[in-house]
């Protein structure tokens, strides 16, 4: 594999910059030039357009409009620094520095186009919101060109002679630097996602700690209402868009091609692009935080989110949502085509591991649902930039239109956040209880059923909104029905434990913890389905308790289970089991400590999204805040374990858990293209306890699948059916 | 092309296997690119769906009485031009079908000609749409910010128009590759070609829905 | 282990799980805030809640019992590499745990529906429309950034922040948010969504600009009870507080008369005494009168008057301009 210009620091030294001294001077000069140009450009635009300083966070700090040019100057200075330090080859190559440069250039070019068009139509040339909107698209395009994602495609589309499928130049990672660039290897992309997601989780968690610091006592100690609103909005948005939804994209990206016996995803380049689109979304979100934190909640209801005072932040939020949605949809398309079209011979639908079933269903939810949040936020975007009146009742609009469109996605979204986790549970519980899954078909079908039903119940988030009364009854009934397939799953998993041989390793602990936490969250969900009760507790801490139990105690626990379970496969090392257990128990105890009391405070009338609370809630809030701090400390143990074990942990075999799905039949980590020959699947995915358990056969290096002893000998595996 | 079936070159497995992937295998009789484009189109349908959903709520369920706004709205939107434009756009679907046929028959001139016609008709459609917008804004004083119904109108037709634009760009790229002779004519067109054709048909179908919902109902 | 012993153990674990969970869940005082639930409707809701809690604990205990059993009796030894029993499922059990939960949720839906119908009975009085409810007392609730107004249609006067109602009588709340407000550039725009919640009543209703949404409840004792806003509405969302003052019928009647007369001196603004003033303090409520819904839903200051006429007309479609009233 030819290396890209990512790891070119050594090469650049040979490119004419010899000793360090002149390089650093070159870097400094480059930085100053880049800084000066960008800084002055923004000052020029600000002067021309009379930019309102209230859009910058600095106004709150009393500094005035000066920080904007400084920040923009820094953005322009970094490419200059890199150019000076590492030379032309780096800054004009395909790597993150080039991506940065081209993003800035892209932003500039689209800004000039916008200004030009506005001048041509006789409008005021400098208007911040349109510039930011189109500028973000230009920056995105520039970034994707600079990172190397679009090169081959553009050449192809311009009529060049390019072999897209056969070009493996961007495939696989030879050094750590490759993880910071564009790659087409699903294993590399999976790791990029996972590491990125944990970083986002830490950031989201930090904002939660801000909130808990303020809530520990009544009265306002650290921040004002606006800042608090920003804190919970950032907490929620970052956790949902950059942690829990994409972590399953990351784990799925790594595991699915291996599980179905494929060499990679169906569209490897699209796969890489979807990761970098998520990064672009994150940077857009950071930009929003820099200008003052978006503060209308992750739900961003209109007409609050269309108020012009918070317009720039909400615009950046709307743009973030578009990028996140695009990334999600790209991944989902990839998953669907891979699962439908790339399964190894012999892997019928009923022989797929349940993790694959889960991701297939989830991907359909993503494809069908995500455009609805894109659309809702697009309407907010046009309300802010073009003064459309979708939600303005004075001019015929309807604020509830936003809620219906938004929740039509955001309810299936919670299944997007949970179904892959359900798949992980099935795979982990069978392996570590050494028992085949109880009710495979029921679990597969209930997954699809939940997916379907999930689209029919969105308005249970709107019981108090003022929509027609009869509609609430329909929604209540359908919502309660979802408990049935979900109950089937929980009971099936619990029954899988029965007469198994349970190994209490860390992945299993997380699954057990999940079973408890998710059941609690599930039954409070049934309670919330009862309209009269929700009329009392809607927008109270009871709801906060419910969704943290299902999202943290549910989804996040399964994500951790998957990380620990597949850690040996991904890293080639074993994690430290003791630290893993400490992590689990610490999380389990603190989760209940922090979130269970919220059921009580909610019923008592403590309102959600309140920066302050009545004094009678002081003690319990202090307890919860202390619990949150301990939770954060425990998570540090996890990070330490992950990093330390990757570097120094004992090497892992290909199949440390003695499991049967295809990913465990190759080395840890897997070969560059996963398999040496197309695997052949012979039987069910979890044949634990069978007389001669086999799921599929995989060729060793230098051999063919057909030569495998099981195939060459007696033919298909002999598992006996038995009713338990 | 359809995904290559399992071709087992015994020589493959004797090389150092780090350099290339194992033979590809498809578990579906449909080419991956075609499954992919249809999946993507589902998401696009959902995107349009979100706007139609908003329209439905604003017009049917919303607290505001639509009748009050309907007359002004209906007066302003010229149905005749919309119908002519519909004919133009739908006929472009026929031209692109001719282009596809030209590809399969190995007829490069037909392929290039009919692709160009498709692009031409699509561009005319867009041009008329833009003209209609200009008329509405300058002469009838109705723009996206006038009221909720005009917002819906401009956004849905605008969303459709931007999809037409993307389709035109895709077709343009097909045309460039056709002219440069990058295609193996006389066979079934490759996945990228078919995906663009399918996308163009999708754009036409959406227009029918837009026409029915906004103009006729 | 024999089947009988398995069942016995499982049931034991179940009972322990159930008892321990119920004990834990019973520790907090769920219903005692502000002296207990205030309304008839709220009482039904509290009963429904507690029933669901018991049901939830019963369900959770099934999982807990099974997990406990499995973790005690099916643990793998330290060097155990064998597999568990080879079984794919149990049709009878799987059918059972589809049918039984379905019955349970259907029953729960039905019970909840009954509570809902009972709680919304008053809304069907008369024509079931705002200000046409067969004589039931109505209060219009208008939320705005950042406060509450309570309008009494009988007298055409609205109070600010707090309001007064009689005890033991159903009151219907028509809840909305201000429709006409001002944005920083001086244009007209609607307010945001708020939500009117008196936690002691157990009833809340979102106030959406452009909507009149109705809920009702009957206070069963006198006193003062907190009002909070329960829908994120901006930076001071957490300060959008108020108080409802429940008094005897006689006191209410007298107060209503005072309310009706409070603005006769000035066309618009005035004040009334507050029957629930704390001991030793004589608090008053700010009030204003209004002639119609538009005035009620618009920003009102002595200087600004109404923002309605000129700006609305300008935004109507051009074709309609001639025919608009």
Q: C117, C106 in Cβ contact below 8 A?
A: no
Structural domain for A605, as ranges: 451-615+623-650
Q: A257, A334 in Cβ contact below 8 A?
A: no
pTM higher than the cut 0.90: yes
* Nearest residue, CB atoms, A523 vs list C56, C190, C232: C56
Percent of chain A with pLDDT over 90: 72
Between C259 and B15, the higher pLDDT residue: C259
Q: Is the pLDDT of residue B46 over 80?
A: yes
What is the arithmetic mean of pLDDT over A700-720? 72
Between A158 and C106, the higher pLDDT residue: C106
| Extended beta strands in A215-279, E state | none
CATH number for position A382: 1.20.210.10
Predicted pLDDT at A308: 86
Q: Is the pLDDT of residue A459 over 70?
A: yes
Specify whether domain C134-303 bears CATH 2.60.40.420.
yes
C317 touches chain B (CB under 8 A): yes
pLDDT in tens, C250-285: 999 999 999 998 877 666 678 899 999 998 889 989
Same domain as A607, residue A564: yes
* Nearest residue, CB atoms, B17 vs list A382, A408, A676: A676
Site from C103, C237, C297, C313 to mutate, A interface, most A CB atoms within 10 angstroms: C237
Provide, as residue numbers in chain B, all residues whose Cβ is less than 8 Å from the Cβ of C315.
Answer: 146-147
Provide, as residue numbers in chain A, all residues whose Cβ is less than 8 Å from the Cβ of C235.
Answer: 224-226, 229, 295
What is the arithmetic mean of pLDDT over C110-118? 97
* Nearest residue, CB atoms, B145 vs list A266, A387, A699: A387
User: Cα separation of B77 and C322, whole Å?
Assistant: 18
Closest to A277 (Cα-Cα) out of A237, A330, A317: A330
Between A152 and A342, the higher pLDDT residue: A342
Site from C50, C63, C115, C233 to mutate, A interface, most A CB atoms within 10 angstroms: C63
What is the arithmetic mean of pLDDT over A87-104? 86
Q: Is the pLDDT of residue B7 over 60?
A: no
A175 located within any domain: no
In this structure, what token pair is assigned to residue A106? Answer: 């892209």
Predicted pLDDT at A447: 97
B65 touches chain C (CB under 8 A): no
Half-sphere exposure of B216 (CA within 13 A, CB side): 10
All domains in chain B, ordered by first residue: 32-216 (1.20.120.80)
pLDDT in tens, B117-134: 999 999 999 999 998 888
What is the arithmetic mean of pLDDT over A156-161? 74
Same domain as A240, residue A375: yes
Site from C319, C321, C322 to mutate, B interface, most B CB atoms within 10 angstroms: C319
pLDDT in tens, B177-202: 999 888 888 889 999 899 999 999 99
Residues A677, B23: C-beta atoms closer than 8 Å: yes
Nearest chain C residue (CA) to B73: C317
Between A53 and A136, the higher pLDDT residue: A136
- Looking at A314-328, A664-678, B54-68, B91-105, which range is the least confident one? B54-68
Residues B146, C315: C-beta atoms closer than 8 Å: yes
Residues C193, A600: C-beta atoms closer than 8 Å: no
Same domain as A387, residue A346: yes
Q: How many domains does chain A have?
A: 4
Distance from CA of A291 to the nearest CA of C (A): 16
Provide, as residue numbers in chain B, all residues whose Cβ is less than 8 Å from the Cβ of C316.
Answer: 72, 147
Same domain as A192, residue A137: no
Same domain as A144, residue A101: yes
Residues C200, A304: C-beta atoms closer than 8 Å: no
pLDDT in tens, B149-187: 889 999 999 999 999 999 999 999 999 999 988 888 888
Angstrom CA distances, B100 to B30, B64, B123, B187, C123, stand at: 18, 48, 19, 11, 63
- The band of A9, judged by pLDDT with boundaries at 50, 70 and 90, is very low
Place of tokens 């919303």: B62
pLDDT in tens, A519-561: 999 999 999 999 999 999 999 999 999 999 999 999 999 999 9
Distance from CA of C264 to the nearest CA of A (A): 31
A12 located within any domain: yes
- H-type alpha helices, C262-298: 293-296
Write a three-state SS string for A428-452.
HHHHHHCCCCCCHHHHHHHHHHHHH
- H-type alpha helices, B135-181: 148-179
Residues in CB range of A410: below 8 A, 6 or more apart:
A299, A373, A458, A461
Predicted pLDDT at C311: 36
Query: H/E element holding C189?
Result: strand C188-189
pLDDT in tens, A559-599: 999 999 999 999 999 999 999 999 999 999 999 999 999 99
* Nearest residue, CB atoms, C231 vs list A532, A536, A539: A539
A395 located within any domain: yes
Q: Is the pLDDT of residue C235 over 80?
A: yes
Residues in CB range of A468: below 8 A, 6 or more apart:
B61
pLDDT in tens, A642-690: 999 999 999 999 999 999 999 999 999 999 999 999 999 999 999 999 9
- The band of A710, judged by pLDDT with boundaries at 50, 70 and 90, is confident
Same domain as A194, residue A151: no
Provide, as residue numbers in chain C, all residues whose Cβ is less than 8 Å from the Cβ of A308.
Answer: 183-185
- The band of A22, judged by pLDDT with boundaries at 50, 70 and 90, is confident
C316 touches chain B (CB under 8 A): yes
Q: A392, C190 in Cβ contact below 8 A?
A: yes
Predicted pLDDT at B18: 53
Long-range pairs, A74-79, Cβ under 8 A, ≥24: A74/A35, A75/A38, A75/A100, A75/A104, A76/A34, A76/A35, A76/A37, A76/A38, A76/A39, A76/A41, A76/A104, A77/A31, A77/A32, A77/A34, A77/A35, A77/A38, A78/A31, A78/A34, A79/A30, A79/A34, A79/A104
Same domain as A505, residue A402: no
Residues A688, C33: C-beta atoms closer than 8 Å: no
Which of A 242-281 lie inside 8 A of C, CB atoms?
Answer: none
Nearest chain C residue (CA) to A491: C63
Predicted pLDDT at A21: 76
Tell me the pLDDT of chain C averaged across its residues.
88
C194 touches chain A (CB under 8 A): no
Q: Evaluate the omega torsion of the peptide bond into residue A153 and state whether it is cis, within 30 degrees of 0.
A: no
Phi, psi dihedral angles at C242 (to 5 degrees): -160, -170
Tell me the pLDDT of chain A averaged across its residues.
90
- The band of A126, judged by pLDDT with boundaries at 50, 70 and 90, is confident
B151 touches chain C (CB under 8 A): no
Q: Is the pLDDT of residue C323 over 60?
A: no
In this structure, what token pair is assigned to residue C251? Answer: 């006191």
Q: Evaluate the omega torsion of the peptide bond into residue A349 and state whether it is cis, within 30 degrees of 0.
A: no
- Looking at A98-102, A166-170, C99-103, which range is the least confident one? A166-170
Residues C320, B71: C-beta atoms closer than 8 Å: yes
User: Cα separation of C253 and A651, whole Å?
Assistant: 83
- H-type alpha helices, A342-468: 354-386, 399-416, 419-433, 440-454
Q: Is the pLDDT of residue C27 over 50?
A: yes
User: Cα separation of A201 and A120, whole Å?
Assistant: 46
User: Cα separation of A93 and A270, whole Å?
Assistant: 20
Same domain as A646, residue A664: no
- The band of A133, judged by pLDDT with boundaries at 50, 70 and 90, is very high
Phi, psi dihedral angles at C240 (to 5 degrees): -85, 70
Provide, as residue numbers in chain A, all residues whose Cβ is less than 8 Å from the Cβ of B46.
Answer: 367-372
Place of tokens 């205990």: C61
User: Cα separation of A97 and A81, whole Å?
Assistant: 10
User: DSSP letters of C205-261?
Assistant: EEE-TT--EEEEEEB-S-EEEEEEE-S--STTGGG--EEEEEE-HHHHHHHHHHHHH
Boundaries of CATH 2.60.40.420 in chain C?
Answer: 134-303
Provide, as residue numbers in chain C, all residues whose Cβ is less than 8 Å from the Cβ of B63.
Answer: 210-212
Same domain as A584, residue A602: yes
State the pairing for strand pair C194-198/C203-207.
Answer: antiparallel
- The band of C295, judged by pLDDT with boundaries at 50, 70 and 90, is confident
Same domain as A188, residue A151: no
Provide, as residue numbers in chain A, all residues whose Cβ is less than 8 Å from the Cβ of B25.
Answer: 261-262, 342, 344-345, 678
A444 located within any domain: no
- The band of B65, judged by pLDDT with boundaries at 50, 70 and 90, is low
Predicted pLDDT at B68: 66
Angstrom CA distances, C300 to A330, B206, C148, C303, stand at: 51, 47, 14, 8
Phi, psi dihedral angles at B5 (to 5 degrees): -70, 175
Place of tokens 């994500």: A559
Closest to A350 (Cα-Cα) out of A441, A424, A252, A425: A441
Place of tokens 């500094």: A63
């Amino acid at each position: 594999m030819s290396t890209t210009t990512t790891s070119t620091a050594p090469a650049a030294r040979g490119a004419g910059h010899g000793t360090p001294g002149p390089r650093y001077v070159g870097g400094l000069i480059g930085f100053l030039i880049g800084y000066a140009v960008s800084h002055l450009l923004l000052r020029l635009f600000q002067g021309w357009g009379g930019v309102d300083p209230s859009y910058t966070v600095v106004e709150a700090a009393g500094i005035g409009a000066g920080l904007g040019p400084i920040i923009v100057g820094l953005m322009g200075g970094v490419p200059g620094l890199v150019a000076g330090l590492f030379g032309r080859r780096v800054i004009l190559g395909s790597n993150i520095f080039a991506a940065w440069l081209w993003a800035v250039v892209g932003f500039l070019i689209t800004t000039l186009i916008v200004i030009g068009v506005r001048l041509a139509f006789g409008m005021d040339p400098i208007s911040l919101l349109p510039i930011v909107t189109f500028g973000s698209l230009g920056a995105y395009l520039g970034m994707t060109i600079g990172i190397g994602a679009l090169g081959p495609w553009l050449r192809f589309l311009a009529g060049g002679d390019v072999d897209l499928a056969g070009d493996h130049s961007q495939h696989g990672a030879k050094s750590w630097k490759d993880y910071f660039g564009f790659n087409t290897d699903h294993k590399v992309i999976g790791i990029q996602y996972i590491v990125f997601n944990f970083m986002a989780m830490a950031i989201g968690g930090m904002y939660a700690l801000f909130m808990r610091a303020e809530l520990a006592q009544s009265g306002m100690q650290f921040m004002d209402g606006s800042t608090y609103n920003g804190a919970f909005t950032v907490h929620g948005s970052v956790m949902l868009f950059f942690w829990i939804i994409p972590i399953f994209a990351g784990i799925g990206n790594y595991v699915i091609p291996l599980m179905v016996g494929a060499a990679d995803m169906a569209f490897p380049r699209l796969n890489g692009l979807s990761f970098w689109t998520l990064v672009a979304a994150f940077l857009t979100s950071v930009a929003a935080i820099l200008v003052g934190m978006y503060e209308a909640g992750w739900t961003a209801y209109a007409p609050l989110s269309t108020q012009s005072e918070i317009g720039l932040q909400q615009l950046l939020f709307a743009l973030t949502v578009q990028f996140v949605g695009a990334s999600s949809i790209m991944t989902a398309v990839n998953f669907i085509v891979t699962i439908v079209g790339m399964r190894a011979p012999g892997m019928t639908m009923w022989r797929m591991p349940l993790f694959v079933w889960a991701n297939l269903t989830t991907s359909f939810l993503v494809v069908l649902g995500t455009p609805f949040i894109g659309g809702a936020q697009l309407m907010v975007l046009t309300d802010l930039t073009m003064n459309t009146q979708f939600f303005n009742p004075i001019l015929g609009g309807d604020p509830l239109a936003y809620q219906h469109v938004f929740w039509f996605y955001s309810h299936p979204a919670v299944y997007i956040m949970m179904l892959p986790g359900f798949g992980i549970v099935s795979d982990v519980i069978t392996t570590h209880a050494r028992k085949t899954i109880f009710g495979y078909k029921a679990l597969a079908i209930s997954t699809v059923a939940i997916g379907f039903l999930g689209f029919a119940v969105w308005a249970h988030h709107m019981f108090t909104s003022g929509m027609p009364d009869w509609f609430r009854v329909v929604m209540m009934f359908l919502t309660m029905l979802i408990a049935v397939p979900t109950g089937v799953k929980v009971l099936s998993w619990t029954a899988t434990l029965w007469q198994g041989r349970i190994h209490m390793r860390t992945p299993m602990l997380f699954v057990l913890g999940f079973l408890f936490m998710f059941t609690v969250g599930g039954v409070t969900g049934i309670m919330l389905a009862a309209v009269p009760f929700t009329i009392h507790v809607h927008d109270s801490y009871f709801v906060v308790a419910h969704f943290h139990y299902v999202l943290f105690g549910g989804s996040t626990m399964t994500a951790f289970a998957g990380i620990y379970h597949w850690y040996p496969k991904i890293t080639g090392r074993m994690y430290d089991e003791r630290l893993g257990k400490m992590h689990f128990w610490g999380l389990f105890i603190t989760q209940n400590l922090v979130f269970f009391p919220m059921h009580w405070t909610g019923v008592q009338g403590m309102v959600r999204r309140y920066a302050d609370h009545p004094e009678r809630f002081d003690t319990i809030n202090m307890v919860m805040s202390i619990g949150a701090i301990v939770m954060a400390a425990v998570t540090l143990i996890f990070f330490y374990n992950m990093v330390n074990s990757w570097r120094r942990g004992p090497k892992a075999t290909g199949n440390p858990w003695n499991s049967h799905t295809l990913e465990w039949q190759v080395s840890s980590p897997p070969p560059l293209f996963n398999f040496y020959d197309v695997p052949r699947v012979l039987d069910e995915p979890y044949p634990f306890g069978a007389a001669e358990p086999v799921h599929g056969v995989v060729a060793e290096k230098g051999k063919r699948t057909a030569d495998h002893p099981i195939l060459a000998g007696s033919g298909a595996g002999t598992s006996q059916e038995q009713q338990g | 092309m359809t995904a290559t079936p399992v071709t087992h070159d015994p020589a493959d497995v004797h090389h150092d296997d780090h350099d290339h992937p194992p033979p590809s295998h498809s578990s579906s009789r449909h080419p991956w690119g075609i499954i992919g484009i249809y999946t993507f189109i589902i998401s696009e349908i959902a995107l349009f769906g979100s706007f139609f959903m908003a329209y439905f709520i604003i017009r049917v369920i919303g607290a505001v009485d639509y009748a009050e706004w309907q007359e002004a709205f209906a007066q302003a939107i010229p149905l005749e031009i919309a119908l002519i434009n519909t004919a133009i756009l739908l006929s472009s679907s026929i031209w692109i079908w001719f282009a596809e046929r030209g590809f399969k028959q190995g007829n490069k001139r037909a392929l290039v000609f009919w692709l160009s016609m498709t692009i031409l008709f699509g561009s005319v459609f867009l041009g008329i749409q833009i003209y209609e917008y200009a008329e509405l804004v300058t002469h009838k004083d109705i723009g996206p910010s006038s009221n909720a119904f005009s917002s819906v109108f401009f956004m849905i037709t605008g969303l459709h128009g931007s999809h037409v634009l993307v389709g035109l760009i895709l077709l343009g790229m097909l045309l460039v590759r056709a002219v440069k002779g990058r295609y193996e004519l006389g066979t079934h067109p490759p996945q990228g070609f078919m995906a663009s054709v399918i996308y163009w048909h999708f754009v036409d179908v959406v227009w029918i829905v837009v026409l029915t919902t906004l103009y006729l109902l | 282990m024999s089947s009988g012993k398995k069942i016995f153990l499982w049931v034991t674990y179940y009972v322990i799980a159930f008892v321990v969970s119920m004990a834990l869940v019973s520790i907090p005082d769920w219903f005692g805030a502000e002296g207990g639930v205030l309304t008839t409707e709220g009482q039904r809701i509290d009963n429904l809640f507690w029933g669901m809690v018991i049901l939830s604990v019963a369900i959770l205990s099934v999982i807990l019992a099974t997990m406990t059993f499995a973790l005690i009796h099916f643990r793998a030894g330290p060097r155990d590499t064998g597999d568990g029993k080879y079984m794919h499922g149990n049709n009878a059990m799987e059918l059972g745990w589809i049918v039984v939960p379905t019955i349970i949720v259907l029953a729960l839906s039905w019970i909840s529906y009954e509570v809902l119908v009972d709680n919304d009975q008053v809304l069907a009085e008369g024509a079931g429309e705002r200000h046409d409810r067969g004589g039931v007392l109505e209060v219009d609730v208008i939320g705005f950034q950042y406060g509450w107004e309570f309008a009494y249609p009988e007298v055409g006067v609205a109070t600010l922040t707090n309001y007064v109602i009689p005890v033991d009588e159903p009151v219907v709340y028509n809840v909305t948010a201000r429709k006409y407000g001002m944005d920083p550039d001086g244009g007209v725009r609607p307010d945001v969504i708020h939500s009117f919640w008196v936690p002691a009543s157990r009833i809340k209703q979102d106030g959406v600009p452009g909507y009149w949404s109705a809920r009702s409840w009957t206070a069963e004792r006198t006193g003062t009870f907190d009002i909070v806003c329960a829908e994120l509405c901006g930076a001071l969302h957490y300060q959008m507080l108020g108080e409802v003052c429940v008094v005897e019928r006689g006191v209410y009647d007298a107060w209503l008369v005072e309310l009706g007369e409070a603005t006769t001196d000035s066309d618009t603004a005035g004040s009334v005494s507050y029957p629930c003033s704390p001991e030793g303090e004589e608090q008053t409520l700010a009030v204003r009168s209004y002639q119609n819904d538009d005035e009620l839903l618009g920003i009102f200051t002595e200087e600004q008057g109404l923002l309605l006429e000129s700006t609305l007309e300008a935004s109507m479609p051009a074709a309609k301009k001639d025919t608009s009233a």
